[in-house]
Amino acid sequence: MRIDLEHGDLTTSTTDAIVNAANSTLLGGGGVDGAIHAAAGPRLLDACRELRRTTLPDGLGVGDAVVTPGFDLPAAWVVHTVGPNRHRDETDPELLASCFTASLGAAADAKARSVAFPAVGAGAYGWDVDDVARLAVDAVRSWDAENLGAVDEVRFVLSSAAALEAFEEACGR
C-alpha cells in the first residue's frame, strides 16, 4: 500500500473513499464532519438518518466505521468513524487506532481501492497531532500487513502545515 501525504481539502479528494471524522449521531457537526456534509449535499444527511433509523439506532460507536455513498463529492464513498474524545476522558489509543483500521475495513468492503483520511481526533476531540500521526500511520501499516492488496493507497489529507509535518515525521520522511 502506498501512503501519500498532502496539505489540502479532504472534500476535494479524488480517492474512491474519504473518511469523515464524525460524531456518534452521524447527523453532521463542525470541522471535517460539517465540511463533508456541506460538500456531499443533503442526500448524505438523508443516508445517515436512514442508518440511524435502521441499523444504528443508538449511533455509531467510538472506533467503529460505517459507509455511505459520497453523493456530490468526488469520492464515491464516505466512511464515517467516531474518534475518542479526550475531553470526555476517552484516552485509549487503541480506540483511536481502531478508527483507522475499521475505516479501512469498511472501505475495502465497499471495494474502495484508495482512501483519504483526515487527522481523526486531532481537532475538537483534543488529541495531540503528533500522537494521532504516529497511531494513524502505525494502524494503517498494520492493517495493510494483515490485508495485503485490499487497498492500494491511503492518502492523509491534512488541513494544516503542522499536521502535515507530524505525519511526515510519523512516516519517516
Query: Topology of domain 2-170, per CATH?
Result: Leucine Aminopeptidase, subunit E; domain 1 (3.40.220)
Burial of 30 (0-12, 13-18, 19+ CB in 10 A): exposed
Which residue ranges make up each domain of the chain?
A: 2-170
Give the pLDDT score at 66. Answer: 98
Cell 497531532 belongs to residue: 129
Instruction: Look up residue 61 and give its DSSP letter.
Output: P
Each residue's pLDDT expressed in tens, for the chain with a length of 173 residues? 999 999 999 999 999 999 999 999 999 998 999 999 999 999 999 999 999 999 999 999 999 999 999 999 999 999 999 999 999 999 999 999 999 999 999 999 999 999 999 999 998 899 999 999 999 999 999 999 999 999 999 999 999 999 999 999 999 99
Give the pLDDT score at 123. Answer: 86
Number of Cβ atoms within 10 Å of the Cβ of 54 = 8
